[in-house]
């Protein structure tokens, strides 16, 4: 067994598996810029190592794979007028695209909490395993942001308006709902993960994606739909609009407990964040690739980084934890086309580019 310990990331070869372990359990493995760079190095090594048949992504500790990006550090840079957002998101998004195209099977153990940046490292994998403990979410709109890391690509490919619902509300998916929303492929009981992990390390060079699928299938429960899937006809009717005002109007008209609870949730989110998110989701529906969505997300993310809403959202949720953000503007009706335009404008030399 060869091992390289790189601080908050462990990358090592175990049998036929190249294991990448996010190693910040006290922070639920929130990912830093250095960790993204270390993952890139690990993938370089594993891709060229002929003994590595499969990649395995896992998180240290009991709480989850990854709670997302290191938001506090981004907040500090944004407040200081720094450029961490531009640097981190560029490298993160390029890594997300690489994971989707990785030439060897890439298995992600999406156990426990999987949010934001953690979704970017796992939901683009070729083999995505959730468990009975999975709590997956893209809660960025509550931070004055939008579901990035290719989230708009993933959500726009969920059935019906399920992705619109999850993207705007930040609602948590359990394992079966993650499969229904096309963020995952198998539910494996958390108690069986060590056994599955052991089996993956015994896989030998030359194993195909089909071989890995067959192996995982032997541990899976076969569940494919959770509680939110059952509400899909209602969600389709309420979220099948291209304007946030129309979604709010539909929820008010419906008046059911579900609609009113959803309305309450949306009223807590950033109006600007919701409008940007809905437009990105609609544009993503006709995108031909993940990269096309990531380019668009990168433009919008740079604008978010400069915005008061991002700093205020993170302050209320992460820094002061008062859960009482003051959004700018405070109402959906006040989000103008002029405010939106910079989020979707080309950014010249700073555009996101991928190595072909």
Residue of 148, 297, 303, 309 marked active site:
148
Residue of 92, 111, 140, 177 marked active site:
140
Q: What is the dihedral of CA 110, 113, 117, 120, to 10 degrees?
A: 20
Tell me, what DSSP letter sits at residue 124?
T
Instruction: Decide if 99 contacts 48 (C-beta within 8 A).
Output: no
Tell me, what DSSP letter sits at residue 21?
E
Q: Is 85 noted as a catalytic residue in this protein? A: no
List of E strands, the chain: 2-6, 9-14, 17-22, 54-59, 64-66, 106-110, 113-115, 127-130, 135-137, 186-187
What's the Cα-to-Cα distance from 218 to each of 7, 69, 211, 222, 324, rounded to whole Å?
Answer: 34, 33, 11, 10, 46
Q: Is 232 noted as a catalytic residue in this protein? A: no
Q: Is 61 noted as a catalytic residue in this protein? A: no
d(C-alpha 155, C-alpha 63), whole Å? 24
Q: Is 148 noted as a catalytic residue in this protein? A: yes
Helical pair 257-267 and 244-254, crossing angle rounded to 10 deg: 140
In 3D space, the residue among 273, 251, 257, 283 whose CA is nearest the CA of residue 331 turns out to be 273
Residue of 69, 112, 116, 170 marked active site:
69
Residue of 68, 117, 163, 226 marked active site:
117
d(C-alpha 215, C-alpha 48), whole Å? 24
Catalytic residue ranges:
69, 117, 140, 148
């Amino acid at each position: 067994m060869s091992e390289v310990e790189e601080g908050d990331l462990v990358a090592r070869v175990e049998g036929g598996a190249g294991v990448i372990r996010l190693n910040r359990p006290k922070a639920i493995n929130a990912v830093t810029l250095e960790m993204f760079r270390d993952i890139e190095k690990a993938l370089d090594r594993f891709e060229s190592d002929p003994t590595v048949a499969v990649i395995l992504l896992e998180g240290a500790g009991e709480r989850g794979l990854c709670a997302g990006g290191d938001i506090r550090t981004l907040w500090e840079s944004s407040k200081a007028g720094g450029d961490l957002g531009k640097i981190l998101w560029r490298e993160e998004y390029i890594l997300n695209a690489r994971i989707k195209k990785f030439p060897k099977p890439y298995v992600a153990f999406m156990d426990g909490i999987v949010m934001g940046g953690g979704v970017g490292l796992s939901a683009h994998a070729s083999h995505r395993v959730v468990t009975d403990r999975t709590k997956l979410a893209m809660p960025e709109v509550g931070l004055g942001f939008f579901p990035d890391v290719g989230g708009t690509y993933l959500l726009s490919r969920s059935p019906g308006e399920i992705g619109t619902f999850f993207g705007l509300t930040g609602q948590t998916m359990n394992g079966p709902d993650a499969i229904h929303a096309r963020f995952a492929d198998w539910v494996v009981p958390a108690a069986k993960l060590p056994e599955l992990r052991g089996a993956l390390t015994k896989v030998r060079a030359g194993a195909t994606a089909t071989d890995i699928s067959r192996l995982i299938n032997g541990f899976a429960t076969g569940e494919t739909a959770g509680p939110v899937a059952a509400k899909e006809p209602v969600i389709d009717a309420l979220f099948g609009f291209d304007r946030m005002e129309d979604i709010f109007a539909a929820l008010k008209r419906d008046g059911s407990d579900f609609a009113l609870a959803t309305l309450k949730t949306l009223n807590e989110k950033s109006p600007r964040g919701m409008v940007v998110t809905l437009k990105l989701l609609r544009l993503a529906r006709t995108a031909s690739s993940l990269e096309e969505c990531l380019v668009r997300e990168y433009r919008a993310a740079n604008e978010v980084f400069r915005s008061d809403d991002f700093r205020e959202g993170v302050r209320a949720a992460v820094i002061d934890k008062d859960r009482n953000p003051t959004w700018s503007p405070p109402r959906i009706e006040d989000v103008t086309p002029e405010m939106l335009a910079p989020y979707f404008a080309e950014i010249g030399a700073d555009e996101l580019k991928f190595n072909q």
